[in-house]
Amino acid sequence: MAFDFNSLLAFIIFGVTIGVVYGIVALGISLIYSGLDIVHFAHGEMYMFGAFFGLVLAHNVGVPYPVALVGAMILTALLGMAVERVFYRRLTRAGGGYTVAGMGMIICGFGMSVALVNAAYFFFGAEAEPFRANLDYIPRLTFPGDINVPESYVLTAIISVLLMAGLHYFLRHTKTGLAVRAVAHNKDIAYLMGVNVPLMISLIFGLACGLAAAAGVLIGPMQSVQVEMGYLMLMKAFAAAVVGGFGSLPGAIVGGIMVGIFENLGAAYISASHKDIYAFLLLILVLMFKPSGLFGVEAKVKA
């Protein structure tokens, strides 16, 4: 294939858009990790449930796409909070990721993932469903060199930026956000400041799952929605989180974008049928040369 600058640009633009979606899911994983010291292995299923909630709201209930997006985020946040409250809290209360209970937590996450997949088969069926969304009011973007960016990609970019900005504002400029950061750093001190720690943990979980749901609804119109979609997303979001530096929120976004670009370029110039490998290739490269990730935060030291 002759080198064509325009198509390279196009691959990068599409890579970035899909990458921010990975980034949003990775953001949730990082949020939960920094808040609870646990790696949440059922996060891909939250993304999948989010996509299905959006689908049901848009097709069966018939609400407009943006409403379906918000609705799916809220429903998934509630689902995530319920799962945390009922299943995870017992384990996290016994200690975080560095204890024996932390190991139990990982296994519990896997179990939850399997349980949620099967619940989804029961409720939504095994067929891949196309997510038809009417996005005519979103402008198509045309870049120089005849690069056309479809509406769903434009919308994805806009919503992702809005979500990230919203999360940033919440964490940096609100009192509750300050409390969330306090809990993420040290739960005991947060308690002594009068922060209702269990409530904040619920909130962290809800936020993270809401973000995953947004990613699901955004991906919906690009790919179809199916029960098994969570697994690969989880893996790629993990890759994104590790590439950016586990636990770092800006790192999650940058990592996601890098995974997106890398994947698209690999698919374009090496082999399209091995598209899903490139994310992990990048992951391995980063782990070899900068194991703490690009925005690596130092390991938290427990007193």
Partner 1 sequence: MLEVKDVHAGYGNLKILRGINMNVPTGGIVTLLGGNGTGKSTLLKAISGLIPLMQGDVFFNGVNISNMKPHQRMRLGLVQVTQAKEAYPAMTVEENLVLGAYTRRDREGTKADLEKVYEFFPVLRERRKQLSGTLSGGEVQMLVIGRGLMAAPKMLMLDEPSAALAPKVVLEIFANINRIAKSGVTILVVEQNVRMALILAQYGYIIRDGVIMMQGEADNLISDPAVKDSFLGGSVADTSKALRN
Point out which residues bind partner 1 (CB under 8 A): 175, 178-179, 181-182, 185-186, 188-189, 191-197, 303
Measured from the CB atom, is 190 or 217 closer to partner 1?
190
Measured from the CB atom, is 135 or 197 closer to partner 1?
197
Shortest Å distance, C-beta 6 to partner 1: 43
Shortest Å distance, C-beta 68 to partner 1: 36
CB 104 within 8 A of CB 91: yes
> For residue 66, which of 145, 187, 141, 163 has the smallest C-alpha distance?
163
Measured from the CB atom, is 140 or 185 closer to partner 1?
185
> For residue 210, which of 19, 72, 32, 42 has the smallest C-alpha distance?
72
Both tokens of 199, joined, read 């409530």
> For residue 212, which of 94, 73, 84 has the smallest C-alpha distance?
73
Measured from the CB atom, is 96 or 220 closer to partner 1?
96
Shortest Å distance, C-beta 186 to partner 1: 7
Shortest Å distance, C-beta 78 to partner 1: 24
Helices (H) and strands (E) in the chain, counts: 12, 2
Measured from the CB atom, is 154 or 178 closer to partner 1?
178
Q: What are phi and psi of 142, to 5 degrees?
A: -120, 120
- Secondary structure (DSSP) of 175-195: HHHHHHHHHHH-HHHHHHTT-
Measured from the CB atom, is 51 or 201 closer to partner 1?
201
Both tokens of 241, joined, read 């989180």
Shortest Å distance, C-beta 253 to partner 1: 18
How far apart (Å, rounded) are the C-alpha atoms in residues 43 and 36? 14
Shortest Å distance, C-beta 255 to partner 1: 20
CA distances from 237 to 13, 200, 217 (A): 19, 24, 16
Measured from the CB atom, is 93 or 140 closer to partner 1?
93
Shortest Å distance, C-beta 204 to partner 1: 16
- Secondary structure (DSSP) of 265-284: HHHHHT-GGGGGGHHHHHHH
